[in-house]
Amino acid sequence: MTTALIIFILMYAGMLIFSKWRVWFALGAAACMVLFGVLPLGSVLPNINWNVIMMIAGTMGLVSLFVETGMPSRLADMILNKVSNACWAVIALSIFSGVISAFVDNVATVLMLAPVGLEICKKLKINPVPVIIAIAVSSNLQGAATLVGDTTSILLGDYAGMTFLDFLWWKGRPGIFWAVELGAAGTVVILYLLFRKNREPIEKQPLTPVSDYFPGWMMVAMVVLLIIASFITFPGKLDDLKNGLICLLVFLVTLIRSCLRKGNADSAKLVAKEMDYQTLAMLCGLFIVVASIREAGIIDAIAGWFSAIGQGNLFGLYSLIVFGSVLLSAFIDNIPYVAAMLPVIEALSVNLGIAPYVLYFGLLTGATLGGNITPFGASANVAGIGILRKEGHEVKNSDFFRIGIPFTLTAVVIGYLFIWIFWSGVA
């Protein structure tokens, strides 16, 4: 356990201090975990989340074809024609990002909307770094709102026997959906304060022409298919890969059609050039590192720590779970963490003689939102930063903290109070 913990700490310290070299710290730490015997070589590939990798790769490819048509510029024009200045343009795009990600994976949401945000920034001649960060953290916020919004929500729904509608209203009380939405409303105030100086006026302008609407419709089709798939259970391991397979299939159909339409392989060359290989590699490294610390028992130890110090005081335990989860999920993958904590919470609830719901919702709130504190705490953040890097913009840690920390704390505190008020007294 000690070796794994040292490698893990050194990796995150390196990623924070040397932000330009994050991918190499992630891959180097993953290699060290294998070389030092923390994770067996045969366990490396099975522990990479191929569903996420395929989903990101497929969406990246589709986004490249989508951008080529001029549709992001068209959507940017439509948003700009509805708002009065740059500040409200950013807020509108962030809200839109959150709404979509309540039903679609956060990474896919960022990859779809980032090109629109970039076009808005180009038209208004403003720095795109804070805008893309705002889109990323907004998408990550809404993951806990519905059963299909995030893998952690799916884990809780399965463990607690919750349906899609239970997230909205359960046992005669407002569900976690409303805690997330109130938190989102609070973050609008934060975004306004952060972008209030961006008062660049917006003039009405003609809509950019679109050369081909098919990639845009395929983006919509991908969203619809992802929502439908969330209600369907596929046989065996296919269920774990369904989202990634959908994104790849939609992308391949669009690519083949584009190549046939042009009569050449230019679209395939464009996709190969635009693919963000560094982001994909860094995520693979992070998946291996997190699997290693799980193999070493570090995540189980964290769960045991909660169990040991939180006995006997419900409010103290609830607060510890919420804010402890925020801190931990800023540095470790929230999926294995939530999976490890759910049975611990059930046992704690039995010992306290209470219903586990307030602790379940507190766990989901903290673990989902905590990833917004650091640039690499959530896959959506990694994807957004990767897009900015490809555009020639390096994201400093201070750039991210300036938005991520107040955004996260506002949403967490509002959700924390809402859940306690409505669910602490449930027997």
| 79 within a domain of the structure (yes/no) | yes
Q: Tell me: the pLDDT tens digits for 101-133?
A: 777 667 777 877 888 889 888 888 889 999 999
Amino acid 307: pLDDT: 66
User: CA torsion sign, 67 to 69 to 73 to 76?
Assistant: negative
In a domain, 410, yes or no: yes
Query: How many domains in the chain?
Result: 1
Render pLDDT for 156-178 as a digit per residue (tens, 0 to 9): 887 787 877 888 899 889 999 99
In a domain, 340, yes or no: yes
51-249-257 Cα angle (round to 5):
150
How high is the pLDDT of residue 411? 93
Residue 208, sorted as left (phi over 0), alpha (psi -120 to 50) or beta, turns out to be: beta
CA–CA separation, 103 and 144 (whole Å)? 10
| SS3 of 161-172 | CCCCHHHCEECC
Q: Is residue 22 part of a domain?
A: no
Do the domain assignments include residue 9? no
Q: Which residues of 325-354 are buried (b: 16+ CB within 10 A; e: fewer)?
A: bbebbbbbbbbbbbbbbbebbeebbeebeb
Residue 243 lies in a domain: yes
Q: How much of the chain, in percent, has pLDDT values that exceed 70?
A: 95
Is residue 56 predicted with pLDDT exceeding 80?
A: no
Residue 278 lies in a domain: yes
Domain coverage including residue 340: 47-423
CA–CA separation, 22 and 321 (whole Å): 29
> What is the residue whose two structure tokens read 């191929």?
50
- The predicted model gives 38-56 an average pLDDT of 86
> How far apart are the C-alpha atoms of 122 and 275, rounded to whole Å?
21
Q: List Cα–Cα distances, 296 to 38, 39, 46, in angstroms.
A: 7, 8, 16
Q: Is residue 372 part of a domain?
A: yes
Model confidence pLDDT, tens digit, residues 361-397: 999 999 888 888 888 777 788 888 888 988 888 888 8
Closest CA to 194 of 414, 360, 420, 404: 404
